[in-house]
C-alpha cells in the first residue's frame, strides 16, 4: 500500500498559535478517519522545540521547512507553500490549512484521488451543506478565468508532471508581482495569494482538466468565510462566530447554526477553536 497522509504548514505568528490549530486538526483526523489518518506538520527550523510530547503523540511526522524560511518577517505566513512537494514524507499527500477540523470519515475519497496525479478542490460548501456560488472573495478567478481551486484541500502524488507544477508554483511565489502583471488583468490582489499562484500555474501548464475535474462524490469542505454563507442579509463581519451559533459535542459531532457538519470544516475565524473543543477532541482520542 502506498504511504498516504495529510500535511500542514504551521508557523506561529504574533497573534495566532498555528501549531495548536494543527494539533486540534490532527486529533480530529485520528478520531474520524478509519484508514488514512497519518499526519505531518512542517515547521520552521528551531520550532520543533514548540512541539510538546503531547503534540508529538498525534503528529506522525514533524518536518522542518527546508532552505530559507521565506515567511520570515511576514505576519501572514504563506510564503513557504510552494514547498509541499519537497517536504511531504508521503507518496500520496493531501495538503490542508491548519484552521480546519474533520467531522466524519472521508477515507473513501482516497480511492478517487488515486485516479489522478494531483487534484484540487474547486467546489466548497456553506455550513448549510449547499454549494458556494458567491465569488465575493474570488473576483480574480472570475475575471481571469482561472480554475477555481482551493489549496486548503488538495491532493498530489510525487510524479514528474506534479513536480513540474510545483516548479512553476515556486517561480510564481518568488516573482508573484511580475506574474500577476504579465498574466492577470486589473482584477488581481496586491499581495501573494497561494490559491491564485497555484491556479495560475495550473492554467499556464494546461492542467485544468487533469487536476481540477469534478470527481464522483466530490471531495469538498465547508468554508466558513462570512460572505459565502448565502444569508439573506450578509453577515456583518468576518467573525461569523459572533453571529452564528455552533456546538461541538462530546461525541465529536459539530453543529453550526443547527446544521450537522459531515465534511471537513474550514472554520477560518481563529477564535472558534477554544480549549473546550480541544479537550473534547483529546477525550475522544484517549478513549479510543
What's the average model confidence in pLDDT over 8-25? Answer: 94
CATH class of the structural domain 4-287: alpha beta
Question: Coil, helix or strand for 89?
Answer: coil
pLDDT tens sequence across 184-201: 999 999 999 999 999 999
Alpha-carbon distance of 35 to 22, in angstroms, equals 20
Least confident of 7-16, 83-92, 140-149: 7-16
Domain boundaries, the chain: 4-287
Residue 16: phi and psi, rounded to 5, are -140, 130
Strand ranges inside the chain, DSSP E? 4-9, 39-43, 61-64, 92-96, 100-101, 118-121, 150-157, 222-223, 246-248, 254-256, 259-260, 265-266
Q: What is the percent of the chain with per-residue pLDDT over 70, rounded to a whole number?
A: 97
pLDDT given for residue 230 in this prediction: 73
pLDDT in tens, 203-231: 999 999 999 987 666 799 999 999 998 76
List, in sequence order, every residue forming a beta bridge with 153; answer none if it has no partner.
Answer: 96
**pLDDT interval class at 99 (50, 70, 90):** very high
Residue 1 has pLDDT above 90, yes or no: no
Cα–Cα–Cα angle for 26, 124, 116, rounded to 5 degrees: 75
Q: Name the band, by pLDDT with cuts 50, 70 and 90, for residue 66.
A: very high
Write the DSSP symbol of residue 78.
-
| Confidence at residue 232, expressed as pLDDT on a 0 to 100 scale | 65
Rounded to whole angstroms, the Cα distance separating 197 from 199 reads 5
Average pLDDT, the chain: 94
Strands 39-43, 61-64: pairing kind = parallel
Given a contact cutoff of 8 angstroms between Cβ atoms, the answer to whether 224 and 254 are in contact is no
Amino acid at each position: 500500500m502506498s504511504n498516504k497522509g495529510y500535511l500542514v504548514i504551521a508557523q506561529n505568528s504574533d497573534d495566532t498559535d498555528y501549531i495548536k490549530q494543527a494539533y486540534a486538526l490532527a486529533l480530529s483526523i485520528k478520531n474520524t478517519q478509519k484508514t488514512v489518518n497519518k499526519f505531518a506538520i512542517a515547521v520552521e527550523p528551531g520550532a520543533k522545540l514548540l512541539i510538546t510530547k503531547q503534540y508529538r503523540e498525534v503528529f506522525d511526522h514533524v518536518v522542518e521547512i527546508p532552505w530559507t524560511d521565506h515567511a520570515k518577517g511576514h505576519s501572514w505566513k504563506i510564503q513557504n507553500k510552494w514547498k509541499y512537494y519537497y517536504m511531504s514524507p508521503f507518496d500520496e499527500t493531501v495538503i490542508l490549512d491548519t484552521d480546519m477540523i474533520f467531522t466524519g470519515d472521508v477515507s473513501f475519497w482516497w480511492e478517487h484521488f488515486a485516479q489522478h496525479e494531483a487534484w484540487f478542490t474547486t467546489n466548497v460548501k456553506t455550513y448549510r451543506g449547499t454549494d458556494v456560488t458567491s465569488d465575493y472573495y474570488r473576483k480574480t478567478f472570475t475575471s481571469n478565468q482561472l480554475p477555481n481551486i482551493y489549496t486548503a484541500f488538495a491532493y498530489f502524488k510525487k510524479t514528474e508532471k506534479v513536480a513540474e507544477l510545483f516548479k512553476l508554483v515556486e517561480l510564481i511565489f518568488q516573482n508573484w508581482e511580475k506574474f500577476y502583471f504579465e498574466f492577470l488583468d486589473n482584477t488581481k490582489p496586491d499581495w501573494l495569494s497561494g490559491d491564485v499562484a497555484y491556479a495560475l500555474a495550473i492554467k499556464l501548464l494546461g492542467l485544468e482538466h487533469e487536476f481540477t475535474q469534478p470527481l464522483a462524490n466530490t471531495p469538498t469542505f465547508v468554508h466558513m468565510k462570512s460572505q459565502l454563507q448565502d444569508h439573506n442579509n450578509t453577515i456583518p463581519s468576518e467573525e461569523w462566530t459572533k453571529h452564528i451559533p455552533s456546538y461541538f459535542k462530546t461525541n465529536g459531532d459539530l453543529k453550526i447554526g443547527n446544521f450537522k457538519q459531515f465534511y471537513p470544516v474550514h472554520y477560518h475565524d481563529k477564535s472558534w477553536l477554544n480549549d473546550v473543543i480541544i479537550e473534547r477532541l483529546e477525550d475522544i482520542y484517549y478513549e479510543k
